[in-house]
A and B are shown apart, each in its own frame.
Chain A
């Protein structure tokens, strides 16, 4: 791949010619804000926040979808760009519930972060809001459509695993929403609670319920561990409040890692000091269950005990 040289905010950078502007900027530590962009997912350019000005081009261009070109001169924070970005963010805030005080996502919410950076507040008019569609049916995931900014990351990440593909867009225009299957609840749907969607959601629309109320983004400490259930070794963050480990949070499923409920529960069991009861879905209903059942260990444990007791006998002899 040939290299090209371009200028971003006055800095020269040399990158392979198939690089997008957003990635090229990252290489020289220029962060272009983006809500729908994820290097691991298909580029959709839906949030429009990553717009930049390119000299010689009349229109603003999205940095996620535009490839670099030799001699390109890019301005990522020109006045025109910043003004447009403020308007886009304001439009998102205009439809967003004013709930940062109690939102579990506070502190790691991208909308909150950008609103802070661009100096924006919640709306002052009384125009339409999206209907409150809170899906509390799952013990693992809280889905709050009112907070959804429709970036579609959850849809894309769910779609990547062929046997899942639970989440999708439904309806259109301002009424667009993310639904499970044919507009079912997480419980009724074919969702397997792998939490891929939760890991990519930039706002508080998809929340890991087992962290709620236990610890906030900026509190305590965390360490990254690898799941030991299968060879993928998905990454999890173990959250500690200083006294004890309170939760395990899945990291985004990069490099083809699928994430799964079993892995997350196993990691919870291993690291969390007082893990909550596990649940499993039986005929479209969540039921509280035992850890052995949740991790499909019942038969194995029986057999292990049996074998070990035989071995113990041999050992004793």
Chain B
């Protein structure tokens, strides 16, 4: 059985081993207060809470986690704190859900806490599915015990003895890491019966998702664990009241749980000193797209978008012009360049029509077509709609059709208005969060880039030069008549005499771009407009 003494012994034994390893690899700085920070400007500019152990500890060794004070918060809580105190601390910390809507975790826990039931459940939503988001995966693969500890603390607080981690099967490494972590925690007695000799018992089971994005929605996830189609439930009751198998159930996502042990280690005041008043703490973002330094960044809430994109991300790739940033994945919106000083927190993003979501952040440059981006996200939503409610099932399909027509040069007068109206209905009448936010990418791109939509529809032009059907390829006078383009053209629509300027037959051109690729870089006679 694990005891506080045993935990201390493990820490004292393992800490020097860990430090020696880090020194040998020369990847991290060990501060006087015991904190360990990865070396390099990219990391030093960040404030890492959820990611604090990532890249530092060995995820397959529970003792490494204990060496960085892992499970000390759980031990302290079980020994010294009442359930009510935990709920109060959680509420005071104002930790908000990192998976989407930002609901205060403490309030959620309190609701499940107050219902009397023979069984309650803690669920960890690890069904991260936003295209371009991979922060949860990183935590699961690099610091699985932080999640287990967070779940156990929550389980103690609300009175749950059973936890489920619902993880995507597409993350085999995360599944493996979690399996090992759960096994090691059980062996040590950190999961199981009478943890730290108290009457608190808690165990965690893994359940695998099977490729349905909608299962990131809480009630759909519950349906899936129950062995059903992942279709969201209508909310007659909240899940904290009647959730998994109709029992009080808490669902938090990976990053939220990873924050929990640290809050109890370092205290509520410390946590609230980071970030903003209404959104305390940090947020992990997956900074991707046309940005110089792509990767995971964890920064205090409220940091202006500009700092994230330029100071940490190093700005737009290849010196191109910054156009927009898309946050929140298929449920989020596109933020234009003139709003780049927006602080990144729940309220500010909501105000400009986007959302924090799980933290996807896709940087776009001048060559990204905003209509096509809207189409891309709608295509994703249509593919992933569960099909239960009419507005989402039928409405997103129609929106996608309109967008496909627009990017194909078949847009008609009135299409923008149709999109706006459908967006309205889908947002206000859909059953679940997926549907209610499905139109966001369209709404925000129309709001901030309406002229781009109009150019597609009225002038049949794509200002970003990205929509294949709307661009044309030309050969300029720079052409040296080498014939490389003509040989590359799959439809043979380029003609010209040797050493003479060649010409593209626009009627037969299929706009594949092979000619542009084939033209010798020194010549660059093929242009796209």
Q: Which residues of A contact B (CB under 8 A)?
A: 43-49, 51, 59-60, 62, 64-65, 67, 80, 83-84, 87-88, 91-92, 94-95, 125, 127-128, 149-150, 152, 169, 171-176
Residues of A within 8 A of B401 (CB): 125, 127-128
A150 touches B393 (CB 8 A): yes
A48 touches B387 (CB 8 A): no
A48 touches B429 (CB 8 A): yes
A172 touches B422 (CB 8 A): no
Whether a CB of chain A sits under 8 angstroms from the CB of B269 is no
Q: Which residues of B contact A (CB under 8 A)?
A: 212, 229, 231, 234-236, 382-391, 393-395, 397-398, 401, 421-422, 424-425, 428-431, 436
B401 to chain A: closest residue by CB: A127
Most buried by A among B231, B234, B391: B234
A95 to chain B: closest residue by CB: B394
22 contacts between A and B (CB under 8 A): A44-B388, A45-B234, A46-B388, A47-B390, A48-B390, A48-B430, A80-B428, A87-B425, A88-B391, A91-B390, A91-B391, A92-B390, A94-B394, A125-B401, A127-B401, A169-B231, A172-B386, A173-B384, A174-B393, A175-B387, A176-B386, A176-B387
Known contacts A127-B398, A128-B397, A173 near B428 by CB under 8 Å: no
Give Cα distance in the complex from A282 to B389, angstroms: 38
B431 touches A45 (CB 8 A): yes
Distance to closest chain B CB from A42 (angstroms): 9
Residues of A within 8 A of B431 (CB): 45-46, 48
Partner of A150 from the list B234, B387, B395, B436 (CB cut-off 8 Å) is B387
A44 to chain B: closest residue by CB: B234
Partner of A91 from the list B212, B387, B388, B394 (CB cut-off 8 Å) is B394
B interface, by DSSP: helix, strand, loop or mixed? helix
B236 touches A67 (CB 8 A): yes
Partner of B428 from the list A49, A59, A171 (CB cut-off 8 Å) is A59
Partner of B393 from the list A59, A83, A176 (CB cut-off 8 Å) is A176
Distance to closest chain B CB from A120 (angstroms): 14
Known contacts A45-B431, A91-B394, A169 near B425 by CB under 8 Å: no
Give Cα distance in the complex from A169 to B228, angstroms: 11
Residues of B within 8 A of A127 (CB): 397-398, 401
B394 touches A60 (CB 8 A): no
A174 touches B387 (CB 8 A): yes
Partner of B429 from the list A88, A128, A169 (CB cut-off 8 Å) is A88
Distance to closest chain A CB from B499 (angstroms): 49
Most buried by B among A64, A95, A152: A95
Give Cα distance in the complex from A95 to B212, angstroms: 24
Residues of B within 8 A of A62 (CB): 234
Most buried by A among B231, B386, B393: B393
Distance to closest chain A CB from B236 (angstroms): 5
A65 touches B389 (CB 8 A): no
Given A45-B431, A128-B397, A169-B231, 8 extra CB contacts under 8 A: A45-B389, A51-B429, A87-B422, A91-B398, A95-B394, A150-B387, A152-B388, A173-B382
Residues of B within 8 A of A174 (CB): 382, 385, 387, 393-394, 397
Residues of A within 8 A of B385 (CB): 172-174
Distance to closest chain B CB from A77 (angstroms): 15
B236 touches A88 (CB 8 A): no
- 7 shortest A-B CB distances, which residue pairs? A176-B387, A45-B234, A91-B394, A87-B425, A173-B385, A65-B234, A127-B401
A149 to chain B: closest residue by CB: B390
Residues of A within 8 A of B212 (CB): 172
Give Cα distance in the complex from A88 to B234, angstroms: 18
